[in-house]
Each structure stands twice: as C-alpha cells, then as structure tokens.
Structure 1
Amino acid sequence: MKPNKTIGIAKKGIRLPYGALNLIPTTMFRSLFLRNATCRLVKSAPRARGRALGKHSYSSQQHNPYYFTLPPVRALGPTLWVFTAAGTIYLSCAAYEVYQDVQEFKKRPLGDVTYNNVDDVRTNKGVRQSAATTGFSPIDIFTTPWSGLNSAEKMLAIIGGLNIGVFGACRFSPSATLLFEHIPANTRNFTLFSSMFGHAGFLHLFFNMYGLSMFGPQVAGSPTFESSGSHLTAFYLSSGLMASLAYHFGTIWPNKTHRISPGLGASGAIMALLGAWAMNYPHQHIGIMFVPGSLPAEEALLVLLAFETWGTFIGFGGLLRWAHAAHLGGLLVGVGYVQFDGKNRVWQPTRKFAFNQMRRLNLI
C-alpha cells in the first residue's frame, strides 16, 4: 500500500494532501519567486503519527519532511504608504484645479482673487456642465474634439486609455505584468497603486471598462463631484488604493492563502464608483448583464454588500476566485464618501488649503 503523504503548514499545524500545492496556479509561484518573496520550506513541523504496515511505520515526515510555511504580510508599512499616497493625490489634484480656476478667474474682471470668489465661479461652471457629463459615453471621445470635453470627461477618457494601454503593454511584454500586480507577501508598496491598472485578461478588462463607462459619467455629474475632473481623479485613484489595501489586509485574515496570490484590476475603484452612484441616485434601477430584471440602486447596493461580505469572510467554495475584499473595500469607500459628505469635509478643505499655500508662495 502506498503511504498517504501529506504536507503540513508548520505554524498552524495544518496538513494538506500531498500535491495540494500543485492546485495553486503556477503564476503565483512564478511571480512570488521573481519578486524574491520569502517563501520558506522548513523541517521544524510537529511529528506526524505513523500508520503501521506490518513491521514498518510510515509517516509524512519519513517520505516528505518539508513543510510549506506561508510568508508573513506587513501591515503598518503598506497602511502608511497608502494613506500618504492618497493624501498626496488629493492635495495635488486640488492644487491643480485651484491653479486652473484662478487663471480662468483672472481673465474676467470678477473682483478680487479670493478663495470664495474663485470657488463660486467653479461651482457655477460645474452646475452648468453636470447635465452634459451624465450623458457622456465612450463614443463621444471619438466624435467630440478634445477641447470640447470638460475636465471630468477628459479624466474618464484618460483613465480608460491608461487601462487599455497597460493591458496592451503587458501583452506585448509579459514581464511588465510584474509591475502591475500586487502580491501581499512581497515588500513592494507601489504595486498597491499600479495594480489598479493591470488586468488578467481581455474579459477582465472589458467588464471593468464597461463599469467605468456606465457609472463614471453619472458619478462625475452628480452633486458630489459637479463635473470636477480633479475631484473625480482624486476619488478614483484614492479609492483604488484603499481597495488594494483591503485586499492586502484580507490576506492577513481571513484569506491567508491569498497572500501569495497576485491581485490586479480596476474593480476596486469601479466598485467605489458604483457605491457613490448608488448613494447619489438611490431610485435609479440597475440590472446584471444576461440576467432579466432590475433592482433600485439602494436595494442592489445592499445585495452587493452582502455578496462581497460573504465572499470575503466565508467564500464560495472555490467557485469564484475574485478579490472580494477589494470589492468590499471599494464599495464601502464609495458609500462612505457620499454618506459623510466627502465633498465638503474632504475636497473643499483640501482646495482651500492648497489655495492658501499657493498664495503664500506667490504661485497664483
């Protein structure tokens, strides 16, 4: 009789059938070792009880004494990096918009250059453009001159173009994929940002860009953003960072085996747009492709939150290998941003701070 070989995880005493590691996609290990992640094989596992066969006793250690130990995942470093990056993104986008608004304000004799005067002009401009922005579609990119698009529409076009461009570059040079996937066990922090532009395949890219085209324009034209391309850019990129961090923490608990699995895709940021859309338009209906019927946005949001929460903490038995933690994190960021008035509590104070500092430095 052939002995039942097993492989154990030393720290937790978990025993897996021999060969179970072969079930993990080889791309995970390819990326893992190319990134010099600390994946260790150790011999210090507890002794396994042998099974007597005649005069001989067989155990897993006798036939395969090596035990696979999951590498550690850092928490503090990635957290500080994400919040620093998100703050930098918001401040940079606010400073850019303030500079553009001041330059436009100076072209008209509208009074002294004060923050309130400049902000009033921006608000009036945003209200006028919001109706057009909500009807924006990818076709308009090819039928409208670039100068005829407002800042929010340009932002959506650029984000879509970046995702498509990165996908093409990774297909042309597969090694470039290593720069656009985040492996939690690795020590690189920048992939928390860059991974939101990478995609695993054409369908992955298609569905994310479809979501961007469906929810992006309506969110951009909502009262929260008022066709502000800079505000929408800051929100989109920061939401993607938070979603990546949620995926990262999800590999500490409860999905420990995912810490060597690369995560990539714009779905976390798209989920944030979906959450913001549902909060701004709770009575609009939304359906699922290839599924008949639809639900009001507020009800669909509850269903999605329940679905992603279940997928994160319980799972679907291997049927769906999605980054549920990233989706859940993105949804919560989008819902929370609108619910707690991110426009007036985050964006406007950042704009005012940028205005004051730029005035102090004589930049405007």
Structure 2
Amino acid sequence: FRRAPQKIKPQSPDQGMGSKPYQNKLFPPVEELVSYTSSSSPKRLVKPFFFTVGFTGCAFGSAAIWQYESLKSKVQNYFGDVQADWMDKFRPQKQGNLRKQVNKWWNSLSDGQRTVTGIIAANIFVFCLWRIPTMQRIMATYFTSTPASRILCAPMLLSTFSHFSFFHMAVNMYVLWSFSSSIVSFWGREQFMAVYLSAGVFSTYVSYVSKMVTGRFDPSLGASGAIMTVLAAVCTKMPETKLAIVFLPMITFTAGNALKAIIAMDTAGLVLGWTFFDHAAHLGGALLGVWYATYGHELIWKNREPLVKAWHEMRTRSSGRRGGEGSQ
C-alpha cells in the first residue's frame, strides 16, 4: 500500500509540528505546508514534472552503463576467478560457522531476491529513523510527499522508501520479495532497478497531479507505487499464472484477473475519493507497469545501444590517454 497519512489542509509556514514526540502508531507527523493559494497553483507541478523526466533518464542511462561495466568486469575476471578457485583448494579454510551459514543462505537466493535485499534493507533503515523523535521533522519533510510541501522533488523518491507503520512496510516488502525473482529474470537487475526507481518517482507525480485536481493535499508515503509497477509488469507478462492471498492460500486466481481487480479498485477509490490509500499513486504505478511490459522495454531499454557505445568510446579514449602518459 501507498498510504495517505492524514487528511489535512495547507497551512501557513509558521504552523509547523510541535516539538513533542509523535504518538500515533499508524500515521507519521505532518510537516509544515505552504499556503493554500500557493499549493493550488498548477505551476507547482512544473518542477516535479522535469524532475520525473530527468530522474527517469538518469536512472535508465546509469542502468545501461552499469550493465556494460558488469559484463566487462565478468569477462576480464573470468580467468582470474578460475585461477583463484584452483588455488583455494590448497589454502586452509578459515570461514567460521556463522559466515558459512550466511554464505549458504545468500547463495540459495535467486538473482531477484538478492537484488531487492538492498531495497528492503533501505526501507527498514528508514522505518527505524521514524522511531527517533528528534528525526521526525526531517522525516516528515523529506520522506512524505505532497504538492503542498515546501520541498517537492526529493520526497518524490525518498517517500518510496518510507513506512511509518511496521505492518505497512511488511506487506509491501513481502509483495516485492514474492515478485522479485520473476521480474529480475525478465529484465535483469540493472533494468529492474531503473524501472523500480523511476516508477516510484512517476507514481508520486501522478499522486501530485491527483491531489492538485481534487484539492486534497494529504501527505503520502510507501513503496507501493513502485511495487505496483513490478506487480503489473509480471501479471502482464504471465497473465495465466496462479496467485493466492497470503492469509487465504485456498483462494486462487489468475494474475491477469488480479491485475484487473487492482486497477478497478484503485480507479474506484480515485473516483469516489477514498483517502486511506493513495489510489492515484497505485493506479499510476500499475498502468506504468502494463505499459512498460508491453511497449516500454522495446522503446527504451532496447534502444540503449547509442549510449553504451558512446560510453565505451569514452572509456577507450580515457584508457588510451592513461596508457600514453604511463609510457612517457
């Protein structure tokens, strides 16, 4: 879920949070907001729009370069790894039992599960920060998102790693873990990370637009906008796969029907004005996942060759200059 913490109205800048520790276990504190007149201006969506476009471009560009460097490193280290494995046979083993168990557990994970481990760790870290009373003003400013906030762009990304309720975080991370193996096997870890991070920012922008239209400026937080993209992409690529609810394993349904139900529920929530969840972010993430699985992979990721080629040429020239300097 991506939760909309509290139904509030924008206030004057001097009406900020008090200094007392926040007591509500379900919803985070609310940071001070800009005035209602300023927050209702469509101009406040311009900067987040360019941030969304720019961040998405950087995410996919970085992922393409990351993949290039990873493949290059694997090729260069192949023979070195073979030699190291051969030498290890003649070296005494110093690993303790705990380290062996950790290595065994790590090696038992799929590529997808290893990839999302870092995301889950980041979410747990941010959840712990919410428990520190002196951090709550900073957390409310940068780790919840609303177009009425003084800070507009950074929370679009940071709020996707933010959960105030343990149950909220546990459900989101369970869903991410469950679908990670399938989606990373389709896209690879680099493309997955680009899509996941971009989806978090994009779904927040859709939430911003919805809040500007409806006049409800409730701050939101949670990873479900990005997770909806992952879930929708898997359901689009494997619509006949059988799914079940974790607490009701006897009830099964196809992935395609699950996706239709999710989109229908979030559309109803958006139209009817339900406010407990950020239905606009959910819907934006789900539609992005359907689009990317159907068209986006072909249009974006498969056209990364010019960027990778330019990066390769730059690396080659740089290596040539270093080689020339070393021979002088």
TM-score, normalized by the shorter chain, greater than 0.5 = yes
1:346 equivalent to 2:309? Answer no
Provide the rounded CA distance (Å) in 2 between the counterparts of 1:142 and 1:31. 51
Provide the rounded CA distance (Å) in 2 between the counterparts of 1:79 and 1:249. 10
Per-residue CA deviations over 1:43-72 (Å, capped at 9, x if unaligned) read: xxxxxxxxxxxxxxxxxxxxxxxxxx6832
Q: Do the aligned partners of residues 157 and 27 (structure 1) sit closer, same or farther apart at CA in structure 2, a change above 3 Å counting?
A: farther
**Equivalent in 64, 74, 77 of residue 104 of structure 1:** 74
Per-residue CA deviations over 1:321-362 (Å, capped at 9, x if unaligned) read: 10000000010011111111x333211322x13321122212
1:196 equivalent to 2:160? Answer yes
Structure number with higher helix proportion: 2
Q: Secondary structure of 1:295's partner?
A: strand
Give the drift of 1:281: 1.4
Partner of 2:27: none
Partner of 1:177: 139
Partner of 2:261: 303
Per-residue CA deviations over 1:174-209 (Å, capped at 9, x if unaligned) read: 234222111211242111111101112111101101
Partner of 2:40: 72
**Residue identity matched to 2:271:** F
List aligned pairs for 1:228-267, cutoff 5 A: 228-253=188-213, 255-257=214-216, 259=217, 261-267=218-224
Partner of 1:38: 34
Aligned sequence identity (%): 24
1:90 equivalent to 2:60? Answer yes
Partner of 2:104: 144
Give the drift of 1:152: 3.9
**Residue identity matched to 1:231:** Q
**Contact (CA 8 Å) 1:198, 1:264: kept in 2 or not?**
yes
**Residue identity matched to 1:89:** A
Q: TM-score, normalised by structure 1?
A: 0.67
Q: Secondary structure of 2:300's partner?
A: helix
**Equivalent in 176, 181, 184 of residue 220 of structure 1:** 184
Provide the rounded CA distance (Å) in 2 between the counterparts of 1:37 and 1:297. 40
Q: TM-score, normalised by structure 2?
A: 0.74
Q: Do the aligned partners of residues 362 and 289 (structure 1) sit closer, same or farther apart at CA in structure 2, a change above 3 Å counting?
A: closer
Provide the rounded CA distance (Å) in 1 between the counterparts of 2:14 and 2:173. 25
Provide the rounded CA distance (Å) in 1 between the counterparts of 2:228 and 2:262. 10
Provide the rounded CA distance (Å) in 1 between the counterparts of 2:7 and 2:235. 36
**Contact (CA 8 Å) 1:180, 1:198: kept in 2 or not?**
yes
Q: Do the aligned partners of residues 244 and 237 (structure 1) sit closer, same or farther apart at CA in structure 2, a change above 3 Å counting?
A: same
**Residue identity matched to 2:149:** N
Q: Which moved more, 1:261-270 or 1:28-37?
A: 28-37
Q: Do the aligned partners of residues 70 and 203 (structure 1) sit closer, same or farther apart at CA in structure 2, a change above 3 Å counting?
A: farther
Structure having greater relative contact order (Cα 8 Å, sep ≥ 6): 2
Give the drift of 1:38: 2.3
1:277 equivalent to 2:239? Answer no
Give the drift of 1:244: 0.6
Provide the rounded CA distance (Å) in 1 between the counterparts of 2:127 and 2:280. 23
**Equivalent in 169, 172, 194 of residue 208 of structure 1:** 172
Provide the rounded CA distance (Å) in 2 between the counterparts of 1:31 and 1:164. 32
**Residue identity matched to 1:88:** C
Q: Do the aligned partners of residues 245 and 31 (structure 1) sit closer, same or farther apart at CA in structure 2, a change above 3 Å counting?
A: farther
Q: Do the aligned partners of residues 72 and 288 (structure 1) sit closer, same or farther apart at CA in structure 2, a change above 3 Å counting?
A: same
Give the drift of 1:283: 0.7
**Contact (CA 8 Å) 2:111, 2:184: kept in 1 or not?**
no
Give the drift of 1:217: 1.6
RMSD: 2.9
Provide the rounded CA distance (Å) in 2 between the counterparts of 1:208 and 1:357. 38
Larger radius of gyration: 1
Give the drift of 1:26: 9.5
Q: Which moved more, 1:320-329 or 1:185-194?
A: 185-194
Aligned residues: 271
Partner of 1:331: 286
**Residue identity matched to 1:37:** L
Structure number with higher strand proportion: 1
Q: Do the aligned partners of residues 108 and 158 (structure 1) sit closer, same or farther apart at CA in structure 2, a change above 3 Å counting?
A: closer
Give the drift of 1:149: 6.1
1:314 equivalent to 2:278? Answer no
Q: Which runs of 5+ in 1 are unaligned?
A: 1-22, 41-68, 110-140
Q: Do the aligned partners of residues 108 and 288 (structure 1) sit closer, same or farther apart at CA in structure 2, a change above 3 Å counting?
A: closer
Per-residue CA deviations over 1:98-126 (Å, capped at 9, x if unaligned) read: 012123234569xxxxxxxxxxxxxxxxx
